[in-house]
Amino acid sequence: MEITKTLVPEAERKAKPHDVAHIPFGTAFTDHMFLMDWEANTGWHNARIEKYQHLKLEPSALVFHYAQEAFEGLKAYCTKNGHHAMFRPRNNFERLNLTCRRMCLPELDPDETVQALKELLREEIDWIPQEHGTALYIRPTLIATEPYIGLKTAKKCLFYIILCPVGPYYQEGFNPVKIKVEEKYVRATPGGVGFAKTGGNYAASVRAENEAIQKGFTQVLWLDAIERRYVEEVGSMNIFFVINGEIITPGLTGTILPGITRDSVLQTGKRWGKNMIERRISIEEVIESARDGSLTEIFGAGTAAVISPVGELYYRGDSYTIGDGTTGPLAQQFFNELTGIQYGNVEDSFNWMEYID
Ligand code: COI
């Protein structure tokens, strides 16, 4: 891929934030972004790196009306030895293609896109923060830009990648969060787009999250849309339960995001010889095992938060303390292992890190 570069003069570049760990997640952006256009008759073209700036789009662009878009989230880290690397980027672009197929958007070549992203990161290398617990969050985004008010497959699209230095996703950091079982709203239905990383899934979840926050919870625990019984995700993350020593996560049945952190937890746990199980798990089973003490841990897994321990679960008027309410040993072990690999403190035996320099 030929990439044209129009770089911001040194003197006009932004000041980098001093204390990345304490700026609100996703609010500071780097100097440059990557962009590429797509048209039905020419395919992908005009790959470029230029100033992070406003996009110029027609108000009639399809994305604004019918949410025809796909996105990804991944991170680049400064490793212990002073090098810089991303965590499993190819998987993100493969998943972006999965979303694009469902949303009738054009696919990208995952290898070429990883190379383009590396090129962007090399320009922004000084933006990758060094403190432990911080990273450069990468947001690849693909939108339908064709100006058209009828509903159809777009003939014009834009792909871009923006970057922001981040610390912890939740205010709580790695400390346990309080969650509430959501019974009024659902996140995804079979045959819908629950497995896809597309904005509409997230837009539709905000109302439930806001109501949960008003009641003092950090996030909601989503149940399936048909029986309102089987656990699916927590907030915008995948979920794991530790019951009688087994580590259980809902299977990928089409309504659940195939999380890359989820897959990393599964692969790591299997390598450790743990009993990692993908299956349906009902809220009754969760509550019963919380009551009889066999449920010892719950944790979320996602790119932004990595591992998010759950300290308290609220369901139908009752609160259940999970374990002793503090971060459980397995959540801690997975967090240490994954962040250890990401920061270069633990051997990367799966070859997950993609080095930039
Ligand atoms: C991520 O975890 O990377 C996501 O895309 C979720 C988003 C709500 C930050």
CATH number of the domain enclosing 25? 3.30.470.10
Q: Is 73 in the pocket of ligand 1 (CB under 6 A)?
A: yes
Same domain flag for 115 and 254: no
Which residue pairs from 213-218 have beta carbons closer than 8 angstroms and sit at least 24 positions apart in sequence? 215/180, 216/178, 217/177, 217/178, 217/179, 217/180, 217/314, 218/170, 218/172, 218/177, 218/178, 218/179
Report residue 284: phi and psi, to 5°.
-65, -45
Protein residue closest via CA to atom 6 of ligand 1: 236
Partner residues linked to 141 by β-bridges:
71, 160
Measure the CA–CA gap between 154 and 152, rounded to whole angstroms: 6
Domain of residue 135, residue span: 4-166
173: left (phi over 0), alpha (psi -120 to 50) or beta: left
**What average pLDDT is seen over the chain?**
97
Q: Is 308 in the pocket of ligand 1 (CB under 6 A)?
A: no
Protein residue closest via CA to atom 5 of ligand 1: 73
Q: Tell me the pLDDT tens digit for each residue of 281-317.
A: 999 999 999 999 999 999 999 999 999 999 999 999 9
Same domain flag for 196 and 109: no
Measure the CA–CA gap between 106 and 157, rounded to whole angstroms: 8
Q: Tell me the pLDDT tens digit for each residue of 245-293.
A: 999 999 999 999 999 999 999 999 999 999 999 999 999 999 999 999 9
Same domain flag for 113 and 255: no
Same domain flag for 131 and 109: yes
CATH number of the domain enclosing 312? 3.20.10.10
Residue of 138, 169, 238, 261 best suited for mutating to test ligand 1, as the one with most atoms within 8 Å of CB: 169
Q: Is 99 in the pocket of ligand 1 (CB under 6 A)?
A: no
Tell me the CA–centroid distance for residue 256 and ligand 1, in Å. 14
Determine the pLDDT at residue 172: 72
Query: Which is nearest to 320 in space by CA: 281, 292, 294, 287?
Result: 287
Give the ligand 1 atom nearest the CA of 305.
Answer: 2
Q: 101 with 153: CB under 8 angstroms?
A: no
Query: Which is nearest to 121 in space by CA: 47, 55, 30, 51?
Result: 30
Q: Is residue 174 very low, low, confident or very high in pLDDT (cuts 50, 70, 90)? A: confident
Q: What is the pTM of this model?
A: 0.97
Query: Which is nearest to 259 in space by CA: 97, 91, 81, 130?
Result: 91
Same domain flag for 91 and 208: no
Give the ligand 1 atom nearest the CA of 197.
Answer: 5
In a domain, 356, yes or no: no
Residue of 74, 236, 306 best suited for mutating to test ligand 1, as the one with most atoms within 8 Å of CB: 236
Residue type, 317: G
